[in-house]
Structure 1
Amino acid sequence: MTFEFRIPILPEPEFFSNVKLAALSLAKLGGAYATAPIVVSAGGHADATEMRALNRWSLPYPVTWRPVPHAVSDRGFSSGFDRYAEPPRGNAVILADADVCLMRPIDDLLQRMRDAKRPLIAGMPAHFSPFSRDGAENDAAWRRLLEAFGFGDTPLDWQYSMSPDQASGGSPAYFNYGFVVFDRTAFIAIQQLIRPLTQRVYHYLKDTSVVFFSGQIALSLAILTVGADTLALGPEYNCPNSDEMLAHGLRDPADIRVLHYLRRDQFDRHNFLCNRGEFDAFCGRSFVSPVLQAFQQHVRSLTYPFYGEPVTR
């Protein structure tokens, strides 16, 4: 089974430090994880030579620093679009946010992708509705959007991962974009669709607060367009750095495979890997949260996870 990771960033120390944690985490797992390509799409007019010079730590790892072409580079969607630019290198393509790392193998999921008979996309359902916590308002908003894009008959049979009761309404397959896995055929089918669909969704939502979710919604529409199969993953495949998932399907922090450290209430997720004081505070703190304890233990187990540690050769 061959697979790769594609990560969007801006060319800034906090994002470089995220990539380092992701690379060290994969290296620790060994085998195919240690050799899986990590393709980093950098927006914001990044310079390839400069990025390589600033990230000499990456030399022993299969990291490719890929600046978004200058003509389309920005600080917004461009790095996310760029993840779709290259053809797949193997059986599966994993799109991951920069603040995501693997803590345990995902062999079962990768096997499902390899054995898929039809195009298959897997991810955890988004935590909440992009439209409203009220079920009737949520359903009506999805119905209007789906009708506008030619999918009016689509059933709203997916539930949100942190609002699973019927009162919250439903959705089509709608993933948290922090960790989404495509088998090869699904990725190829969606590659050329994602930019124009995202732009259309953005235009549709541009005067609303929901415009932030244009990318996730566009992926849902792309899935419907190509007729791909979907697989809903549990929270162990996209667990935030907090304990709420223990009430929404996560049985034990020991089950976490993919940690998504998107919360900022316990530590500064942007700086804790590249600011020495923040890093030492994170490593030395006694967290009450079982999930944070597991994440802290993982970070401590890695060799030189701090960004800026002297490179040894």
Structure 2
Amino acid sequence: MSLKQRLFGANTLWIALVLLVLVAVFGAIRPDAVLTTFTLQTTLVETSVLLVLAVGMTFVIITSGIDLSVGSVLVFSGVTSAMTMNAVNDGNATTAGWGTVLIGLIAALLAGAAWGLLNGLLVAKTGIPPLIVTLGSFGAALGAGQLLSNGSNVSGVPDVLGNTLGTGTWFGVPNLVILAAVVTAIGALVLSTTRFGRHTYALGSNEEAARRVGIGVTGHLVKVYLLAGTLAGLAGFMALAYFRVASITGHDTDNLNAIAGVVLGGTSLFGGAGSVVGTVLGVFIPAVLRKGFVIVSVNVYWQPVAVAIVLVAAVWFDQSRRRARNQR
């Protein structure tokens, strides 16, 4: 296969072109508002939490699985972290220090990891389809968060957390964006250069073949869902820092947005193919559409319609390529 054929056959190239076209169109309509540092910064910040969720989702979908629970796990982790920090600092957000913040981070990661571990064990050991398992944990995690908080948002986030991670910058770059970029880079390296990544692809391509060559399918599935849950916990902590409150109702569609971003990024719902780089591009397509529609004064309700069209087109393209490859 020639270099030209490889380039034009790469999902990532086409996704990048779609993203560039969207930016160019909105930029041509309102260059004074779209092509600015402020718009870039706000778009990056607003996408950071979703990007961390989507990195974990990429690993799950490559195994031909799905995780509908990440949005609820984000909520539960945020509530757990906020309540833990409130308990440590007696609800005094002003005097709380980095020790309190560290305890809150650990609480969020452990809360997310617990749900991820539960999902992984149920999927890997019981044979229940991931769709059903994570649909159940979607409701259970959200319900648990509501029980802990009595159905109310949890405030009292330490000022040092909000001022540093939530709204702080480093050389002009928001700290929230830097953290998301670090997580994304690590995820990309793990998926593309490590044995864990190779086993993830092998599992999604053919689970039985992976088992026959000695890959511990059960253990690997548990680790993948554990990773997704832990990253959902981190995303909950990031959202807590940014909004300075653990919101019960503010993340209703985060799970679907993460899945859409991963699929738009070229990761196949059938498993065995995908990349974190593609996911980054896929996550920014809805973000650019949403921001662009607001700037050019298009009714915001057209945004999910536009994303749906692009999403269906991406899945159709994936199916077409798969059929063409199987017919060779």
TM over 0.5: no
- Answer 1 or 2: higher relative contact order, Cα 8 Å, separation at least 6: 2
Q: Which has the higher helix share?
A: 2
Higher strand content, 1 or 2: 1
Highest Rg: 1 or 2? 2
TM norm structure 2: 0.28
